Structure 1
């Protein structure tokens, strides 16, 4: 079970003595194999009473390094670290709300709050958990921001007129995920009722059913480095589309697409390339809009794979080498013909387990390839391809469009 921090723990960790102890722990291996030696070393350093809090913090900081900018100086609980927004996502959301008054009503340890405080006109963070709020105070201080902090229930408003940002807890006391919106803490409908008439942005898991939040005027799916991280439910005047997909990369490249764009694209035979759109685009139901933007077309109107003669910049696309009706026998012959030994298998629309299929195919050649398996109409098809990374049009990419403050998303 994760360690349960107390306010006394936070006060110690926030002190010079605590920081010195944590700095000393940075040299420890902190692996399963070194656990006994690490515990003994920390106990010698700070005593048996302080050791659990110090050791847990050292572990959480190490886990957070790739997720939260400056996380090696932050304080976390295990649940808070797991649910914290990755810094590029938090910074993107903050840019969307730049220049507005913002209240993060479930600020936890401050992953979103720190980013919001850097761009908002005025910023307040609140949480019902006094320990997490004390950690947020530390984290804001070491990050160089100073929003207002209040211990308050998210369902009892303590501000007026500001944009409300919420990230309901989606795990129960045992760490198991809650999937039903009514089981979130606080529940989605309760949040909407508490802030009726105010602009509200609620961060949710990407699998959320938009029908569960009829009050949301816009649903935004956000991915980072190819992984769909979250859905944002947007109410009030912040919404400028019904559906939006935003694709972020850690190198700063970012772009968005909405259902306000054209979506008329043809369905035709395969071109020179196959493109598998980012998961945010697929989950947002914007595959045709993406195709229209980039001059692509569909292989099948019900399948998310797109095709064309020029792939979009900045994506990993698949140059088509050969294709034909799919059976294991014909695919095995195709792999022999192209001397394929290292094989990536992508599947949409067919009941095929890529790992099991690869074991049955036993490719033994010297070259590398990707095979895209899908259906066109009722016909199962196999496309043998070479995966290629398409260069960006610009070195830093194009930042996702952000409207002027106060003029919506």
Structure 2
């Protein structure tokens, strides 16, 4: 069979030995591949391949030497090595794990999985979509008893290798056919269909409405895409807590906690792992609207996504610039929060902005936009920056209807 290419790799299927097969989501591993990679021979081969650079410049020659050394095993060795390197941003010990590309893309970052596991401490937990075991690894040492299952036998085999030494019971099972009782169920449905990301939770695999139906009356945790429509989730019958979690400055996920696992009175929660801060809709939201003070604050994405801007403002003594816009302001910054110190205020007149920025010797400009149709990159180009100073623009809409106006705040970032 002629070689086929994927992302710069030359990979080949061996139909006689059942070796890895190319698919849109990378290589499709077999049980034979997993057994080889997990065994002594495979581990030694992986150590050799890991010593290769496998950069864009060296990849063709590195793959050629791997093929010459390991023959038909080259594809799974190279793929596993590259996946392990990519996984280091999610897992501290990624260099000993086995993955498929799709499983790695959906895998939860270790800090996020650990946070979820903390909320499940002491419980008997069944991860019904365990994949290669990232959630199970976080649960180990926290949960009282742990079961992991997946419909994909290859991923179960990988999880067995990845969790070697952990007290986790693994089996192959369909998430919609319960095989445990009296456990807290954790599910992380696939959010791609035909290689494309899906935003409708009814198109998840397994579908969210099916999960809610099958596990009705049981404690259930479901990891969802951060952009999931909260109102649609409620229409599907979910009446627990929706938690939005951020890490490293980005929103990572929305997690559904059934009523038995939710904090009483809480239906929405924002968790900012970088600052170990949580805020919920059970807190006060008496946040006034006023002109900017010394600082403008762009709240963490988890706060905005969870609809808790007013609650966050009330907690930190801040106020809104406009009731419909997420920017907050105050005379003091909350501890550890990045802010923008207001220098001047303008309308959106590019000629005036260009003159002001030139007079201030601005050469680098961070541009934040809310409520206004402005492309920051295009605007930055048109402003023709030439100086050495670095400042920021905060562009937003103030007011509604015919009374609305676009306001530009020239600022200096706190860090």
Shift of 1:93: 0.5
Contact 1:370 1:384 in 2 (8 A): yes
Shift of 1:118: 2.3
Distance (Å, rounded) in 2 between the aligned partners of 1:284 and 1:79? 27
Query: Comparing both chains, which one has the higher relative contact order based on Cα–Cα distances under 8 Å and sequence gaps of 6 or more?
Result: 1
Other-structure match for 2:20:
none
Contact 1:198 1:236 in 2 (8 A): no
Shift of 1:321: 1.3
Other-structure match for 2:290:
268
1:129-158, Cα deviation, whole Å (9 max, x unpaired): 0000000011111xx422110111000111
Other-structure match for 1:40:
64
Alignment counterpart, residue 93 of structure 1, candidates 106, 113, 116: 116
- Structure 1 runs of 4+ aligned residues shifted over 3 Å read none
Distance (Å, rounded) in 2 between the aligned partners of 1:230 and 1:357? 31
Contact 1:331 1:382 in 2 (8 A): no
Other-structure match for 1:387:
413
Other-structure match for 1:357:
379
Tell me the C-alpha RMSD between the 2 structures: 1.2
Distance (Å, rounded) in 1 between the aligned partners of 2:281 and 2:360? 41
Distance (Å, rounded) in 2 between the aligned partners of 1:107 and 1:162? 15
Distance (Å, rounded) in 1 between the aligned partners of 2:90 and 2:68? 31
Shift of 1:171: 1.4
Distance (Å, rounded) in 2 between the aligned partners of 1:78 and 1:297? 44
Distance (Å, rounded) in 1 between the aligned partners of 2:104 and 2:335? 34
Shift of 1:169: 0.8
Other-structure match for 2:307:
285
Shift of 1:211: 2.5
Other-structure match for 2:201:
181
Shift of 1:183: 1.3
Report the secondary structure of 1:316's partner residue: coil
Shift of 1:338: 2.0
Other-structure match for 2:52:
28
Distance (Å, rounded) in 2 between the aligned partners of 1:178 and 1:343? 35
Other-structure match for 2:8:
none
Contact 1:226 1:278 in 2 (8 A): yes
TM-score in terms of structure 1 length: 0.91
Shift of 1:58: 0.5
Pairing 1:205–2:230 present: no
1:226-284, Cα deviation, whole Å (9 max, x unpaired): 110100011131112110000113xxx42111001100111111100000000010010
Other-structure match for 2:270:
245
Other-structure match for 1:313:
335
Contact 2:121 2:143 in 1 (8 A): yes
Distance (Å, rounded) in 2 between the aligned partners of 1:216 and 1:170? 22
Q: Unpaired segments of 5 or more residues in structure 1?
A: 390-409
Other-structure match for 2:30:
6
Distance (Å, rounded) in 2 between the aligned partners of 1:29 and 1:316? 38
Number of positions where the alignment pairs a residue of Structure 1 with one of Structure 2: 382
Contact 2:241 2:259 in 1 (8 A): no
Other-structure match for 1:341:
363
Within a 5 Å distance, the mapping from 1:206-245 to structure 2 comes to: 206-214=226-234, 215-240=238-263, 241-245=266-270
Contact 1:332 1:361 in 2 (8 A): yes
Other-structure match for 2:166:
145
Distance (Å, rounded) in 1 between the aligned partners of 2:135 and 2:65? 34
Shift of 1:176: 1.4
Within a 5 Å distance, the mapping from 1:104-143 to structure 2 comes to: 104-141=127-164
